[in-house]
Amino acid sequence: MEATPSLRDPMDEAHPWYVLMEVAATGPVDLGVMLEQLLEQGMERELILDGVLASSESQSLQLWQFRESMLEGQRLRGEHLRTDISVPISAIPAFVTQASEVVMEASPDCEIIAYGHVGDGNLHFNILPPSTLEDDAKHDHLHALETTLFEVLDGFDGSISAEHGIGRTKQAAYLSRLSPMEIELARGIKTLFDPDGLMNAGRILSSR
Within-domain flag for 202 = no
CATH number at residue 149: 3.30.70.2740
Residues 14 and 86 in one domain: no
Sign of CA dihedral 194, 199, 204, 208: positive
CATH number at residue 45: 3.30.70.2190
Residues 49 and 101 in one domain: no
Specify burial of residue 148 (Cβ count, 10 A radius: 0-12, 13-18, 19+).
middle
Domain containing 60: what range?
Answer: 1-76
Which residue among 9, 43, 76 closes a domain?
76
Provide mean pLDDT across the span 188-198.
90
Within-domain flag for 196 = no
Is residue 134 a contact partner of residue 78, using CB atoms and an 8 Å limit?
no
β-strand pairing of 85-86 with 111-117: unpaired
Q: What pLDDT does 72 receive?
A: 81
Residues 131 and 63 in one domain: no
pLDDT at residue 141 is higher than 90? yes
Residue at 152: amino acid letter: V
Q: What pLDDT does 22 receive?
A: 87
Which residue among 23, 49, 76 closes a domain?
76
Q: What is the pLDDT of residues 117-135, one digit of tens each?
A: 878 889 999 999 998 888 8
Provide mean pLDDT across the span 14-36.
85
Provide mean pLDDT across the span 33-61.
88
Mean pLDDT, the chain, as a whole number? Answer: 88
Does 26 or 1 have the greater pLDDT score?
26
Q: What pLDDT does 102 receive?
A: 96
Q: How far is Cα 98 from Cα 109, in angstroms, rounded to an integer?
A: 17
Q: How far is Cα 89 from Cα 122, in angstroms, rounded to an integer?
A: 8
Q: How far is Cα 133 from Cα 144, in angstroms, rounded to an integer?
A: 14
pLDDT at residue 2 is higher than 70? no
Helix (H) or strand (E) holding 26: none
